[in-house]
Amino acid sequence: MSTEEAVLQTYTADCVQTAEERSAVFALRMLVFVEEQRVPIEEELDAYDITATHFLIRKAPAPENTENGVVGTARLIDKGHGTGKIGRVAIHIEHRGVGAGAKLMLYIEEFARLEGYTELLLEAQTYAIGFYEKLGYVAEGDIFMDCDIPHRLMRYRLE
């Protein structure tokens, strides 16, 4: 077993199921987007948070500076006609670059397949486009600004 495989075995992805998990993923989003990236708090939380399916990735044993070991999160919004939109993808800074984000995305893709989605969209911050391309997402259209951060639309066909 490679070192990367061993590291990834310590991470588990799941749907958010409890109020405690929901609080933990929102706290992580505040840390990554509001504190780290300076996104205004009123832009970070929105009405989609009520209806979206939220996901988390946690590490065992729970590392310091995390709530319940939650080190990553994302949400999936049903856009209708088999299309889902992934958003609010956030990984704690100490867990970036080790495969946790990829493991979370693969979990979301499998969940979406089982739910009958045929396509996923996301609006990637431009620095993360390479990460999503490695997972099979294709960038399209022009770069646009969201909260003063450059983004680009990306699309993934579920098979």
pLDDT of res. 2: 59
- State the Cα–Cα distance between residues 157 and 139, nearest whole angstrom: 12
Q: Are strands 83-91 and 119-125 parallel, antiparallel or unpaired?
A: parallel
- State the Cα–Cα distance between residues 134 and 106, nearest whole angstrom: 12
Answer whether residue 7 shows pLDDT above 70.
no
Nearest by Cα to 134 from 106, 108, 158: 106
Structural domain of 123: 3-157
Q: How many domains does the chain have?
A: 1
pLDDT band at 1 (very low <50, low <70, confident <90, very high): low
pTM of the model: 0.92
pLDDT of res. 5: 61
CATH of residue 152? 3.40.630.30
| CB-CB contact of 105 with 82 (8 Å) | no
| CB-CB contact of 40 with 56 (8 Å) | no
What 19-22 contacts at long range (C-beta under 8 Å, 24+ apart), as own/partner pairs, is 20/68, 21/54, 21/56, 21/68, 21/70, 22/54
| CB-CB contact of 106 with 120 (8 Å) | no
